[in-house]
Amino acid sequence: GQNIDQPTEMTATEGAIVQINCTYQTSGFNGLFWYQQHAGEAPTFLSYNVLDGLEEKGRFSSFLSRSKGYSYLLLKELQMKDSASYLCAVRDGDYKLSFGVGTTVTVRA
Amino acid sequence: IAGITQAPTSQILAAGRRMTLRCTQDMRHNAMYWYRQDLGLGLRLIHYSNTAGTTGKGEVPDGYSVSRANTDDFPLTLASAVPSQTSVYFCASSPGTSGSEQFFGPGTRLTVL
């Protein structure tokens, strides 16, 4: 099975940077995903890492270290609309995802 | 293009009743999934299907059944609902190929009294 840990809450100021960490212990690994979920809505895909290193996509970046079982999602130039829950998910070899509980990010003016 | 749809949007159900949650996708994705999301527990996989005609059990399958008669539809049935099945249910689909993300439906909010 999978054990995925991420902080439950983070607060940051508009325009700032926030880093959400995710650690995992898995019996099989076939990639790590980050999803964004606004309150009352469905999760939407943000990023995917399968090799070590940094993937950058606009204001959002995601990093993976497979040897350390560690990933982070970096949100830059925070905007009010970034207030949401961010879900870390690990995929096993059978295309099944296991999710962390999610990190609720609150952006303050 | 609708993507992935779920019905109903919400439902209040008496304990002991049978209920089927519907999920349809028009993206011709091979793989489909059912999750439940509960406060403090995150998304948990109930059942999945890697291709039409096959299904598998996820992390929390008890009390639920699924079928995958064709590519587009993946209904989830609660044979005899219990209050602990009160949750938000999300259906998702994926092409199934390496690197492809899952696309989520809008969810069904189910309350079992």
Inter-CA distances, B13 with A90, B10, B77, B108, Å: 33, 10, 13, 13
Candidate from A41, A97, A100 with C-beta closest to B102: A97
B20-57 exposure pattern, b = at least 16 Cβ within 10 A, e = fewer: ebebbbeeebbbbbbbbbeeeebbbbbbbbbeeeebee
Portion 54-113 of B in contact with A at CB < 8 A: 56, 58-59, 90, 94, 96, 98-99, 101-107
What is the C-alpha to C-alpha distance for residues B83 and B15, in angstroms, rounded to an integer? 6
In tens digits, what is the pLDDT along chain A, a chain of 109 residues?
579 999 999 999 999 999 999 999 988 888 999 999 999 999 999 999 999 999 999 999 999 999 999 999 999 999 999 999 999 999 987 778 999 999 999 999 9
Are the beta carbons of B98 and A44 separated by less than 8 Å? no
Return the structure tokens found at A60: 């959002």
What is the full DSSP assignment across B72-88? SB--EEESS--GGG-EE
Report the chain A residue with the minimal C-alpha distance to residue B33: A96
Q: Which residues of A touch B102 (CB under 8 A)?
A: 33, 45, 97
Instruction: Report the distance separating Cα B106 and Cα A70, nearest Å.
Output: 30
- Given pLDDT bands bounded at 50, 70 and 90, which one contains residue B100? confident
Interface of B with A in 7-46 (CB under 8 A): 31, 33, 35, 40-45
The CA distance from B74 to A51, in Å, is 32
Per DSSP (E only), the strands in A58-102 are 60-65, 70-75, 84-91, 97-99
Residue B6 C-alpha from the chain's centroid: 9
Q: Could you tell me which chain A residue has the CA closest to the CA of B105?
A: A42
The Cα of A77 is separated from the nearest Cα of chain B by a number of Å equal to: 25
Question: Residues 6 or more apart from B109 whose CB is under 8 A from it?
Answer: B9, B10, B11, B88, B89
B44 to chain A: which residues are within 8 Å by CB?
A: 99
What tens digit of pLDDT does each residue of B37-91 get? 999 888 999 999 999 999 999 999 999 999 999 999 999 999 999 999 999 999 9
Q: Is the pLDDT of residue B35 over 60?
A: yes
Note the pLDDT of residue A94.
Answer: 72
Choose the closest CB to B99 out of A50, A87, A98: A50
What is the rounded distance in angstroms from the CA atom of residue A37 to the CA atom of residue B42?
11
Decide if A101 and B48 are in contact by the 8 Å CB cutoff.
no
Bond before B61 cis per omega within 30 degrees: no
Closest CA–CA distance from residue A30 to any residue of chain B (Å) = 8
